[in-house]
Amino acid sequence: MSIMEYNGGSVIAMVGKDCVAIASDLRLGNQALTVATNFEKIFPVTDRIYIGLPGLATDVTTLRERFRYRVNMYTIKESRTIEPSTFAHLVSSTLYERRFGPYFIEPIIAGLERNPATGELSPYIAGADLIGCLNFAKDFVVAGTASDKLFGVAEGLWEPGLEPEDLFETISQTLLNAVDRDAYSGWGAIVHVITKDKVISRTLKGRMD
């Protein structure tokens, strides 16, 4: 029995044209027994940054609260909101602090990065392992019990330059079909599409098994 598989759950993030999407399942299990079908693993950090935390459920809550602490301190001291790339490094250092007794989470970060010179927003995604090694992918990042399946489907379905509506369809199909092949993920899904004006969150109708 692996600690990373105890509660189950998966998260994926994808890059589109001037937008990003992040999606997860909603299952919370106690090994094989499904205990909840409304366990959200993706949380807003700022208006333009979302973080997905798949893994051990207690660490999901704890890490979310720790990041809230650190981002609040950052915001209040710097008098500005944190950028995705800076936040990703904050995630990395928070995880590495516990190098020899880690949080059992592999975070996924998705957001829109502001260019300080031009003020333009560009899509940003990153993933990390449980001790903070960052992965700055240009296309998609995956994590959780269905990560292998997510890699496979995403590699097949993803293409660059997808508009928000198309990105939504692509990430939804990727998530749904990947988690259907994993016993520990599924039981509902939620997708957040982040564009420069707004964030649209939709719950998906999937197989409830």
Residue carrying the six token digits 């590699």: 155
Closest separation in Å from C-beta 66 to another protein: 7
What's the sign of the alpha-carbon dihedral 187, 107, 174, 197? positive
73 touching another protein, by CB under 8 A: yes
Angle at 10 between CA 9 and CA 16, to 5 degrees: 155
Tell me the two tokens of residue 197: 């004006």
Which residue in 3, 47, 65, 96 binds another protein (CB under 8 A)? 65
Contact residues for 151 (Cβ-Cβ < 8 A; gap 6+): 142
| 60-68, 89-97, 100-108, 144-152 -> range binding another protein (CB under 8 A) | 60-68
φ and ψ at residue 140, rounded to 5 degrees = -155, 155
Under rule CB under 8 A, residue 118 binds another protein = no
Q: Which of 70, 181 has the CB closer to another protein?
A: 70
* Residue 77 binds another protein, judged by CB under 8 A: yes
- Which residue of 1, 2, 33, 79 would you call a contact of another protein, by CB under 8 A? 79
Which range touches another protein (CB under 8 A), out of 70-78, 109-117, 136-144, 198-206?
70-78
Residue 204 phi/psi, 5-degree rounding, is -100, 150
Say how far apart CA 92 and CA 107 lie, in whole Å.
Answer: 9
Q: Which is nearer to another protein, 25 or 113 (CB)?
A: 113
Binding site for another protein (CB under 8 A): 65-66, 68-69, 72-73, 76-77, 79-81
